[in-house]
Amino acid sequence: MNYHKPFVSVSDQIKNLQSRGLTVNDPAKAASYLSNISYYRLRAYTYPFQDNNDPTHPFIIPVSFEDIIKLYVFDRQFRLFVLDAVEKIEISIRTQIIYNWARNHGSHWHCDGTLYRNSVQFARDFTRLQQEVDRSVETFIGHYKTTYTNPHEPPCWMSLEVTSFGLLSLIFRNLKMGAEKKAVTKYYGLGKVDILENWMHAFSNIRNVCAHHSRMWNRRLTAHITIPNHTVNPFITNKNILPYKIYAALCGMKYILDTISPGNSFAKRLKDLMQTCPLAQEKEMGFPTDWKTESFWN
């Protein structure tokens, strides 16, 4: 099947939206927005309000262009909020992994294949790690390469500092069960290692979505969040939530943040932000109707 859709000017984009039932109160302002935010990007925000089984995509809910822009702006603010939380979590977990294994296995433990469960996975991840180190422009990586010849690879506190969160999560998952892995898991108040492995994987995926400016507000997460049955510290009591929606991930983020940053403002900032969520879209993000009454969020 060949693609035959033609180029559509901004003025015609607005006419198309109006013909489908979208209210455009200020066409000139709408044109300004569409000149800076592509029609295709905004389509992700109009999609839930349209009949997408109909080739003409008519709007089935009364909504205006201004409403869609408010939703777009909210989503941008929400992504920045989530990205800020993931950054703190990522840096903390990275530090704990480096510290616990280096204490027991030395500066270059990350190069030791005997510490990993799957040798094929180790080889694949180690190749990626070398590539990411080689691409790094950090001064400390350059200094190591020009100063030392053996070992060839920089120590863990350099190499793992410049690797992506996604690769770090794969490396952690593949490490053999031992005192180090249990210590890192215990540090975050989690009884099971597989919970931390799952959260790292999910958070790294979410971080990538945010970093690429992709839609988050009603996204179906590809990495589902595992909800722990038992935790050392307080957690949500209503666990009847959707593991593929962002609310489940937010619960995990707050749980980790409460450990690494006691007295943090994550809950307050989230509640303030959700008060600005337009078009009653909390439910599309997986929030239960009574989430604010949970002691976990207070």
List, for residues 36-45, the tens digit of each pLDDT value.
999 999 999 9
Would you say residue 12 lies in a domain? no
Confidence at residue 280, expressed as pLDDT on a 0 to 100 scale: 83
Q: What percent of the chain has pLDDT over 70?
A: 100
Q: Is the pLDDT of residue 260 over 90?
A: yes
- Say yes or no: 57 and 203 in one domain: no
Confidence at residue 182, expressed as pLDDT on a 0 to 100 scale: 97
Domain end, chosen from 37, 65, 93, is at 65
- Give me the chain's average pLDDT, please: 96
- Say yes or no: 57 and 120 in one domain: no
C-alpha torsion sign, points 256, 261, 267, 273: negative
Q: Is the pLDDT of residue 181 over 90?
A: yes
- Say yes or no: 158 and 22 in one domain: no
Would you say residue 253 lies in a domain? yes
Would you say residue 6 lies in a domain? no
Q: Is the pLDDT of residue 274 over 90?
A: yes
- Say yes or no: 28 and 117 in one domain: no
- Say yes or no: 87 and 208 in one domain: yes
Confidence at residue 65, expressed as pLDDT on a 0 to 100 scale: 97
Q: Is the pLDDT of residue 206 over 90?
A: yes
Confidence at residue 73, expressed as pLDDT on a 0 to 100 scale: 96
The residues, ordered by sequence, that sit 6+ positions from 273 with a Cβ below 8 Å of its Cβ are: 74, 77, 78, 81
Confidence at residue 4, expressed as pLDDT on a 0 to 100 scale: 85
Would you say residue 242 lies in a domain? yes
**What's the distance, CA 212 to chain centroid?**
10
Q: Is the pLDDT of residue 201 over 90?
A: yes
- Say yes or no: 138 and 163 in one domain: yes
Would you say residue 9 lies in a domain? no
- Say yes or no: 156 and 54 in one domain: no
- Say yes or no: 29 and 167 in one domain: no
Q: How many domains does the chain have?
A: 2
**What is the per-residue pLDDT across 116-158, written as a single tens digit (0 to 9) for each?**
999 999 999 999 999 999 999 999 999 999 999 999 999 999 9
Domain end, chosen from 38, 65, 92, is at 65
Domain that holds residue 40: 17-65
Q: Is the pLDDT of residue 1 over 90?
A: no
pTM (predicted TM-score) = 0.94
Would you say residue 34 lies in a domain? yes
**What is the per-residue pLDDT across 73-84, written as a single tens digit (0 to 9) for each?**
999 999 999 999
Confidence at residue 156, expressed as pLDDT on a 0 to 100 scale: 98
Q: Is the pLDDT of residue 58 over 90?
A: yes
Confidence at residue 152, expressed as pLDDT on a 0 to 100 scale: 94
- Say yes or no: 213 and 247 in one domain: yes
Domain end, chosen from 34, 65, 96, is at 65
Q: Is the pLDDT of residue 57 over 90?
A: yes
Would you say residue 255 lies in a domain? yes
> What's the pLDDT band for 281 if we cut at 50, 70, 90?
confident
- Say yes or no: 127 and 61 in one domain: no
- Say yes or no: 86 and 199 in one domain: yes
Q: What is the mean pLDDT of residues 253-262?
A: 97
> What's the pLDDT band for 226 if we cut at 50, 70, 90?
very high
**What is the per-residue pLDDT across 155-172, written as a single tens digit (0 to 9) for each?**
999 999 999 999 999 999
- Say yes or no: 49 and 189 in one domain: no
Would you say residue 5 lies in a domain? no
Q: Is the pLDDT of residue 3 over 90?
A: no
